Amino acid sequence: MKESWRWYGPLDRISLGDVAQTGASSIVTALHEIPYGEIWPREIIAERKAGIMAAGFDWVVVESLPIHERIKRNDGDLSGLFANYRQSMANLAAEGIKTICYNFMPLLDWTRTDLAAPVANGGSCLRFSAPKMAALELFMLGRSAAREDYSADVITAAELWFRASTDADRAELMHSVMSGLPGAFERYDADGLKAALKRYEGIDRRALRAHYQRFLEEIIPAAEDLGMRFCVHPDDPPRDILGLPRIVSAADDIAWILNAVDSPANGLTLCAGSLGANPDNDVPAIVRKFASRIWFAHLRNVRKDVDGSFEEAAHLSGDTDMVDLIAALLQEEARRRASGDKDWEIPFRPDHGHELLDDAARNTHPGYPLIGRMRGLAELRGVIAGLSYAGTPAS
């Protein structure tokens, strides 16, 4: 497997020199400074790639080439947005960058309520608290329909939290929820979020699927022509939030997506943490079912609570059997290699590490500390080495 590292370019407080010391060989990045919907100019792509190569890396995956919210809403004449997207694809392909990770989550990207929840042995992690999210929806946004989305116990806990919270607590909650949008050019307060949600009124699961299928039909043929691989990132969390449907949360969703436009160019980013937050998902089984269409992997782990809350666990100690999952990916690599596929290696990156030691002082993007991810990478590297030495017996 190809070790990679997510790097936010000029926005990142972790330098490529720092990344080199982790042992990772490849970079996953994007032009986060370019507003959604605009063309990524080839010269800027080339400049970013040259800097990455000068530091001793290759740019192995784009994460992400964002999809404009109007496309997700199927709002108005989208021909210009689709044309811009295809031109950005062509410019990336011209520079030899041919794997694109993206998501189709409406309005928000990954969502957490706490950016620095304490970890038992020291350090902190990202956490999604169902009661806090319910408090945001019910009592800060006034979305009464949210009562149908949470259990009675969670709603009671949400009300208790809200009554005890200060204005600063509520502001911190809103900041945490907004922090999953690196590079996005919009951040919302409560009133702004209400207005943004209003634009999604009437868009249910069936409608969002139809909008997504249109995106795939517009983009995947271009990807085929360019020799590119698209790989959708699962929803995080894998459940509806804020009344917005999430349609990439389980094996049935993935099957629908891959069949909607049945092409090798239409693939999956295997995110172990996102899928692992759904108690109904058997993540290693999902890997084996869709292995031939997995072009990229995010390896992280979560620990779930019965009320729907979850938090980032250490990479090898959460609810998902990471050793079995990696074994499944190595088996797929072996199959590709035996079939003569020259591009058989699956790039992966350690995802959402704990903040450890002096990580907090760096003030990096939430979930993307240096030391915590380096620990995760070292653990994953050890599992890969051990399974490879043992011959990765089939499960």
CA–CA distance, 265 with 93 (Å, rounded to integer) = 13
Confidence (pLDDT) at 189: 83
pLDDT tens for residues 267-316? 999 999 999 999 999 999 999 999 999 999 999 999 999 999 999 999 99
Q: Catalytic amino acids? A: 233, 271, 298, 351-352, 368
Peptide bond into 25 cis (omega under 30): no
Cα distances (angstroms) measured from residue 62 to each of 66, 110, 209, 243, 338: 10, 17, 24, 29, 27
Rounded to 5 degrees, what are φ and ψ at 27?
A: -115, 140
Give the 3-state secondary structure of residue 50: helix
Cα distances (angstroms) measured from residue 388 to each of 34, 350, 392: 40, 19, 6
Per-residue DSSP letter, 35: P
Cα distances (angstroms) measured from residue 338 to each of 19, 104, 303: 32, 33, 36
Per-residue DSSP letter, 16: H
Confidence (pLDDT) at 11: 85
Given the DSSP bridges, would you call strands 26-29 and 2-6 parallel, antiparallel or unpaired?
Answer: parallel
Cα distances (angstroms) measured from residue 187 to each of 37, 67, 181: 17, 17, 8
**Number of other CB atoms surrounding residue 33 within 10 Å:** 12
Which residue ranges in the chain fall short of pLDDT 70? 181-186, 392-395
CA–CA distance, 322 with 332 (Å, rounded to integer) = 15
Domain boundaries, the chain: 2-109+203-390, 114-198
pTM of the prediction? 0.94
Confidence (pLDDT) at 383: 97
Confidence (pLDDT) at 186: 64
197 within 8 A of 242, measured Cβ to Cβ: yes
Q: How high is the mean pLDDT of the chain?
A: 95
Confidence (pLDDT) at 181: 65
CATH number of 2-109+203-390, picked from 3.40.718.10, 3.20.20.150, 3.60.10.10, 2.40.160.40: 3.20.20.150
Q: What DSSP element (H or E) covers 142?
A: none
